[in-house]
Amino acid sequence: MIGVDTNVLLRLYVADNPVQHQAAVSFFQTRTDADPAYVRLIVLVEFVWSLRKTYGYSNEAIMTLVTLLLDARDMLLERDDIVVGAVAEVERRRVGLADALIALANKADGCSTTVTFDRNAARHIPSMELLS
């Protein structure tokens, strides 16, 4: 298993640098279910943030890519069960993926709640609470 940085994962889907895009494509073509690429949660969050803020991807397009990553046999996402739950939260409650990941990972790790100043997250994610 080989871990990947955010910029490598981005270049797989964004061809703004043709040389890096081809290198990323070639790298991922050599991954298998026996020797997958490993994607940490922080890489996934940076990937989503970069697609939205830098490249202007829609939330729908981003969630499609995250689902493709989850379904890929040649990639392993850290705590993929949490990612699956977060994707469902995004679709069901219209919250950000990062907020859903934070709340669900904290809950899975034994936190009774997650405090936030984000009113939308506190309103829509049951395990988040507004700190006031």
pLDDT tens figures, 78-121: 999 999 999 999 999 889 999 999 999 999 999 999 999 999 99
Largest CA distance in the chain: 50
The HSE-up count of residue 112 (CA atoms within 13 Å, CB side) is: 0
Q: Would you list the domain boundaries of the chain?
A: 2-78
Mind listing the pLDDT tens digit for each residue in 37-54?
A: 999 999 999 999 999 999
Other Cβ atoms less than 10 A from the Cβ of 46: the count is 17
